Amino acid sequence: MAILDWLFGPGPGPGEEARGSGRSGDTDTVRRIVAELNRLEPERARHLAAFAYVLSRVAGADLNICDLETRHMEELLQKHGKLSEEQALLIVEIAKNQNRLFGGTENFLVTREFKKISTEEQRREILDCLFAVSAADDAVTGEEENQIWQIASELGISHRDFVEARLAYSDKRTVLRKKPN
């Protein structure tokens, strides 16, 4: 299935208008970005999609994905996926929407897929990215930290590696902050 079909549904049937002639959101810019994404190797596209989805699990752990978390996810995809800003933006938005719609049922499945298609180094790398996304708003909440531990467990990351990665974000952890009197 082409990514354009995934985003906007299948193309017009016989006798219907051509794609782009009345669909909201189907602009030349979107078509160009989708065409670029369609040129990605399928394995790379699958890796990037799973990477973005797993990041969205943490961003949405507290039931709110703020603009700072979204922007940080985009930057991480640009950096680690070597993507353009437009490509990263599109992948992150798709991942966030999929997580909102199907998070409860897809979380484990997508994370298991990421484990299967990633190296041990990439799994450790995503652990740091998970903490970075959760700390984007200057607060790693208990919900986010629990979600990161859940993901780390699903990825086969040891507790020791989890604690080591978490240590870099100690100043952002809300469970360690003193409560005001």
Domains of the chain: 23-174 (1.10.3680.10)
pLDDT recorded at residue 14: 41
Q: How far is CA 87 from the centre of its chain?
A: 13
Q: How far is CA 90 from the centre of its chain?
A: 11
pTM of the complete model beyond 0.85: no
Q: Which amino acid is at 118?
A: S
pLDDT recorded at residue 12: 45
pLDDT recorded at residue 4: 41
pLDDT recorded at residue 54: 95
Question: What pLDDT digit, counting tens, does each position of 30-63 carry?
Answer: 666 667 778 888 888 889 999 999 999 999 998 8
Cβ atoms of residues 111 and 151 within 8 Å: yes
Cβ of 132: how many Cβ atoms within 10 Å? 21
Cα separation of 180 and 113, whole Å?
A: 43
Ranges of residues in the chain whose predicted pLDDT is under 70:
1-27, 29-34, 179-181
